[in-house]
Amino acid sequence: MLATIEHLISAKNLTEIRRLLDRASFVDGKLSAGSVARRVKNNREMDPRSADFNALNEMVMGNLVRHPKYKAVAWPKRVAAPFYARYEPGMEYGEHVDDPVMGQGQDLYRTDVSTTVFLSEPDEYEGGELVIIDTYGEQRIKLAAGSAVVYPSHSRHFVAPVTEGVRLVAVTWAQSTVRDPSKREMLYELNLAREQLFRELPDAEATRKVAATFNNLVRRWVDI
């Protein structure tokens, strides 16, 4: 499923994030791409050896992994350190599917859930939409700064060419405790219904049955 998280990062944090990114050193984004993606990737990424990398992660990734909607959508077992990407006019990321396994050596993880956190306002750049191709067609996504979109890593997607301004994003991946994306979606929807029943009909038999079913599906599907 595709889910958006609005107001993930506060305005105060966004100001500091932009300050750190403005002074950061960026390298060719092809350096972090797999053999297939390297042919269609044209952006720049913050050097992960930067002294500000950990400070950025505290604000960006700290807010993401603590957010209840992210946890409900992704069921994360492991969340990777992000790439901070910069797209200037003429840059894009052609259609691709994220590598199924990332990391190095023995520190490998499966990519089940992808997340893009938008760090530029939509009016700061032209083009640059994240386009996700699913069974319903193309979903073109360009969110407010501080918002995120979460989607299955097996989705075909691309970043449209930036024609003006600068697009800044953070991109990360998670290995989920629920490997099957359809099961993650069912758990998310069932949990929404369960929470609504708890609010509106806390003592009803239907509430108890839905809650029990949710817990038993978690027990069956979650791989810790």
Band (135; pLDDT cuts 50, 70, 90): confident
pLDDT for 223: 96
Residue 38: the pLDDT is: 84
- Which tens digits make up the pLDDT trace of 79-109? 999 999 999 999 999 999 999 999 988 899 9
Q: Does 34 have pLDDT greater than 80? A: no
Name which of 95-109, 145-159, 160-174 the model is least confident about: 95-109
CATH T-level fold of 3-176:
Jelly Rolls (2.60.120)
Which percentage of the chain shows pLDDT scores above 90?
91
- Predicted model pTM: 0.95
Give me the pLDDT at residue 180, please.
98
Q: What is the mean pLDDT of residues 37-60?
A: 94
Cβ atoms 143, 122 nearer than 8 A: yes
Question: Contact at 8 Å (CB) between 18 and 167?
Answer: no
Continuous segment of H or E residues that includes residue 193: helix 181-200
pLDDT band at 36 (very low <50, low <70, confident <90, very high): confident
The Cα 161–Cα 128 span in angstroms is 5
The three-state secondary structure class of 58 is helix
Predicted confidence at residue 62, as pLDDT, reads 97
Q: At what angle do helices 205-221 and 181-200 cross, to 10 degrees?
A: 150
pLDDT band per the 50, 70, 90 thresholds, residue 44: very high
- Decide: 217 and 186 in contact? Cβ < 8 Å: yes
- Domain parsing of the chain, residue ranges: 3-176, 181-221
